Amino acid sequence: MAAKLERNDKVLVLTSGGDAPGMNSALRGAARVGAELGLELVGVEDGYVGLLAERFVPLDMRHLDDASRRGGTVLGTARSRIFPTPEGQQKAKEILAKSNVSALLVIGGNGSLTGAKTLEGTETGKGPLRVAGLPASIDNDLGGTSMAIGVDTAMNTIVEACDRICDTATAHRRIFLVEVMGRDCGYLAMTAGIAAGADTVIVRETDRSDAEVVDQVCRTIERAYAEGEKRRRVLILKAEGVHIGTNELKAKVDERLARTVADVDSRVTVLGHVVRGGTPSAFDRLLAARLANAALRGLADGASGFMAGWVGPGITREACPYDPYVVLVPLEEMLAETDKLHRGESALAMWRKRVYREVESILER
């Protein structure tokens, strides 16, 4: 453990990658806890893009009180193309080296926290740079945390959208294929699908071929509209990361249904970025504040190279001294775990895969 941070030590904070509702609450939490600990919190605009351009701004606590109720991120975010390159990282290190920054807090997903790890230990005017991360990604695709900031809000947004879709679907006796975000993980589709009362949910993790997915959807629809069934709507949720495209799936399903089910129409709704915006839920605000609190306290006590994660399924580490629901996971471990999660090889990934198949079967009743 490095020495404790001292009064007025400077901590840079940035939000990076895909925005997630609750990022502003994390900024507010960091600013307030930083003030409590006597640290100077400085924001970086537009993530690593702003770091490379030295766009630093004071974190205004009062402004953040209000922003914390809103989605997006007041600091701005970006997916920098330059920062991940060796030249980009070298430039970032040179900028930090001539600064008197003691620590960097990165709020973002997999790529953003990988970036944080590469900057750890850069010699600044205040010694080796300490880094910490907060998990923020609506996809819930990060190792080392049971929930990432933004997931709960996104899930609620999907459920609300599906409730609306079901009204019109029921009125028309229609089938709706609803595609939701989730590049590598079907968590959002699955959890929201269960909550929204979907008839089936299609996720990448169950390893179905395109033909099997078409069959799964057709069987669901054929069952719903079988003789004697009084069903008026079929709701199918599909994660973005599933190999077969949603429009292609609709075309194939329509082709088969033309022979098997009379007189029902299908429609596609791609919720896309709608799911990433919006007012953060109370849970996301609190999650963000508590993770920020633990991260700031960890940095202040001399820890570095960690992400503050939320206790829950898949998390076996002991809670940190600052919050019984928060663990401080080494970034290296968290990134390796994330990689395994994406490849379906972590304990959590395998558990999810088993449960997803069970849910598929339960929904088929």
Residue 137 interacting with ligand F6P (CB under 6 A): yes
In the complex, least distance from residue 361 CB atom to ligand F6P, rounded to whole angstroms: 26
In the complex, least distance from residue 295 CB atom to ligand F6P, rounded to whole angstroms: 20
Q: How far apart are CA 362 and CA 365, in angstroms?
A: 6
Beta bridge partners of 202: 238
**Nearer to ligand F6P among residue 34 and residue 108 (C-beta):** 108
| Amino acid occupying residue 63 | H
Let me know: does 340 contact 142? Beta carbons within 8 Å.
no
Structure tokens at 135: 């998990």
Which of 138, 159, 253, 291 touches ligand F6P by CB under 6 A?
138
DSSP H helices, 262-312, are: 282-300
Residue 240 interacting with ligand F6P (CB under 6 A): yes
Active site residue 9: no
In the complex, least distance from residue 75 CB atom to ligand F6P, rounded to whole angstroms: 16
Residue 183 interacting with ligand F6P (CB under 6 A): yes
Q: Which stretch binds ligand F6P (CB under 6 A): 68-76, 112-120, 135-143, 219-227?
A: 135-143
Binding mask 275-314 for ligand F6P (x = CB under 6 A): -x--------------------------------------
DSSP character at residue 257: H
Residue 337 interacting with ligand F6P (CB under 6 A): no
Q: How far apart are CA 240 and CA 158, in angstroms?
A: 13
Stretch 62-91 residues interacting with ligand F6P (CB under 6 A): 79
**Nearer to ligand F6P among residue 135 and residue 298 (C-beta):** 135
User: Other C-beta atoms within 10 Å of 211: how many?
Assistant: 10
Q: Which stretch binds ligand F6P (CB under 6 A): 46-54, 132-140, 221-229, 312-320?
A: 132-140
Let me know: does 125 contact 94? Beta carbons within 8 Å.
no
Q: How far apart are CA 274 and CA 160, in angstroms?
A: 11
DSSP character at residue 344: T
Q: Which stretch binds ligand F6P (CB under 6 A): 68-76, 84-92, 175-183, 283-291?
A: 175-183
Q: How far apart are CA 327 and CA 336, in angstroms?
A: 16
Which of 64, 181, 214, 349 touches ligand F6P by CB under 6 A?
181
Q: How far apart are CA 290 and CA 293, in angstroms?
A: 5
Which of 9, 120, 139, 205 touches ligand F6P by CB under 6 A?
139
Q: How far apart are CA 337 and CA 243, in angstroms?
A: 23
Q: How far apart are CA 321 and CA 352, in angstroms?
A: 29
**Nearer to ligand F6P among residue 140 and residue 293 (C-beta):** 140
Residue 23 interacting with ligand F6P (CB under 6 A): no
DSSP character at residue 13: E
- Set 139, 152, 184, 199: catalytic member: 139
> Which stretches of the chain bind ligand F6P, using CB under 6 A?
18, 79, 137-139, 181-183, 240, 276
Positions annotated as catalytic residues are 139
